[in-house]
Amino acid sequence: SRAFLEQHVRQSPGKPFFLYHAAQAVHLPSFAAPQFKGKTQAGPHGDFIHQLDWVVGELMAALEKLGVADNTLVIFTSDNGPETTSVVHMRADHGHDGARPWRGVKRDSWEGGHRVPFLVRWPARVKPGTTTAQLTSLTDVMATIAALTGAALPDNAAEDSFNLLPALL
């Protein structure tokens, strides 16, 4: 991901880019890289989440270093609530509940299985610290990016996707 950013800015300065970085660190099994093992007091899953935090920090630092951070929309989210076994162990062993305050976990019908963080960073357009009560879904990312780039979506594509730009801005 960092190499892509560096190459893009070098070869196409000023041109937009789309980077999808799929981190599996919230899913099981929890296998943190050796440099992250034992770094938290929250066991293997806590170490794995610590590694995810480091990776996101590295990507954010790369955007800053390349001078594109202010005008880059960064979305940090997940596809579902926390893994069942990680919640059970994190609750019992470390007093942490990744679904709190919602009931449920991944693969069930309770809200905790479906409500996920949806964090946005875009300093040029979104004021830091703002929040919205706007209902969102991962399906909305497609219509939002299409609106942002001026792309027209075909009538048979992204039927369930809604443009979130008004809520973001």
pLDDT digits (tens, 9 = 90+) for 98-122: 888 888 888 888 988 888 889 999 9
- Sequence-distant (6+) residues with CB within 8 A of 95 are none
pLDDT at position 41 over 80? yes
Q: What is the DSSP letter of 152?
A: P
Say yes or no to pLDDT of 26 above 80: no
CB neighbours of 76 closer than 8 A, spacing ≥ 6? 56, 117, 118, 119, 120, 121
Predicted model pTM: 0.88
Per-residue pLDDT at 119 = 93
